């Protein structure tokens, strides 16, 4: 028996990638609207800045020898720069392989060797781990300094190009890379947001190197919606951000759901924020 969705098929453009929407929003009425907001500092990246900075990074990487088909590790915790780097790598035709910011140098080196990475882009707070991992993987350390470089002439992104190589959690074996194409990433962005209620903001708390969170920031760019970014879960800051930005949609892990259900700190904030958001979780323990 075949079970069909009552909502019908979700239309997915066959000839587009998420970069088309980065360009579209960066030069439209949404250009000055926030795309990513740091929940800690309120620092904002607009859609125009997302496009401009991604293109500058494309130019810099291209000048330094990074080419289509190369694998580049993205090693960072959540920050407003993360999607800029991710989309820049996509536009260059590079395969972005996200890694956990909690990795040791050996674990990061393992991913670099398994993915055959040519380079690594790391948050400055994690730079020493990245440098040590690069040495173990025999990738030479280099410094990228690029300003006002011309945007290179590049072919359009093919929907069939592999654009990201996330690694599985390795629960029962060593982590394995999973190839995802430009069409697949756009499809999950559209599918993820297809039945969304319109709203101005979402919360980026799940780690961006997890595919669930990657889906979230792709979906926000596709919809032209701002994403409030938090690098980690800190209870008081989390509640302050939900209240300040009147967040309507939270995608969280089960421990955060338990915190919301049980912690006395939540009761003091509940009346102020309860009207503004609905709770969703990416997974629930089987025993619950």
- The 3 state secondary structure assigned to 186-227 is HHHHHHHHCCCCCCCEEEECCCCCCHHHHHHHHHHHHHCCEE
- Domain assignment of residue 170, yes or no: yes
For residue 9, tell me if it sits in a domain: no
> pLDDT tens digit string along 147-180?
455 667 788 899 999 999 999 876 677 788 999 9
Q: How many domains does the chain contain in total?
A: 1
- 246 domain residue, yes or no: no
Residue 275: the pLDDT is 43
Confidence at residue 23, expressed as pLDDT on a 0 to 100 scale: 97
Instruction: Tell me what pLDDT residue 262 has.
Output: 81
Asked if the structure places residue 140 within a domain, the reply is: yes
d(CA 27, CA 51): 8
Assign residue 190 the CATH number of its domain.
Answer: 3.40.50.12780
Is 256 inside a domain boundary? no
Q: Where are the alpha helices (DSSP H) in 96-175?
A: 105-115, 127-136
In a domain, 252, yes or no: no
Domain annotation covers residue 122: yes
In a domain, 167, yes or no: yes
Q: Which residues of the chain have pLDDT under 70?
A: 140-151, 170-171, 195-199, 267-288
Distance of CA 143 to the CA centre of its chain: 24
Judged on CB neighbours under 10 Å (0-12, 13-18, 19+), 269 is middle
The C-alpha atoms of residue 8 and residue 147 are separated, in whole angstroms, by 48
Q: Which residues span the domain enclosing 182?
A: 52-229
Chain-centroid distance of CA 162 in Å reads 16
């Amino acid at each position: 028996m075949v079970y069909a969705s009552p909502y019908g098929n979700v239309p997915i453009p066959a000839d587009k990638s998420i970069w088309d929407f980065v360009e579209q929003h960066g030069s439209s009425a949404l250009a000055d609207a926030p795309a990513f907001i740091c929940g800690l500092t309120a620092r904002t990246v607009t859609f125009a800045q997302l496009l401009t900075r991604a293109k500058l990074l494309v130019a810099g990487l291209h000048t330094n020898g990074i080419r289509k088909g190369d694998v580049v590790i993205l090693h960072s915790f959540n920050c407003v720069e993360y999607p800029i780097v991710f989309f820049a790598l996509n536009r260059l035709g590079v395969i972005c392989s996200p890694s956990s910011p909690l990795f040791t140098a050996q674990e990061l080196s393992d991913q670099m060797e398994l993915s055959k990475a040519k380079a690594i882009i790391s948050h400055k707070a994690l730079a020493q781990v990245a440098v040590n991992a690069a040495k173990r993987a025999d990738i030479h350390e280099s410094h990228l300094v690029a300003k006002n470089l011309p945007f290179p002439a590049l072919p359009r992104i093919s929907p069939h190009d592999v654009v990201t190589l996330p690694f599985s959690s390795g629960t029962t074996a060593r982590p394995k890379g999973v190839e995802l194409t430009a069409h697949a990433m756009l499809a999950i962005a559209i599918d993820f947001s297809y039945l969304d209620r319109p709203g101005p903001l979402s919360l980026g708390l799940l780690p961006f190197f997890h595919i669930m969170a990657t889906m979230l920031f792709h979906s926000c760019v596709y919809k032209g919606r701002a994403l409030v970014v938090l690098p980690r879960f800190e209870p008081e800051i989390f509640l302050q951000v939900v209240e300040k930005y009147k967040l309507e949609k939270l995608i969280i892990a089960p421990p955060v759901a338990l915190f919301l259900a049980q912690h006395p700190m939540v009761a003091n904030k509940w009346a102020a924020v309860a009207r503004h958001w609905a709770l969703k979780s990416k997974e629930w323990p089987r025993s619950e």
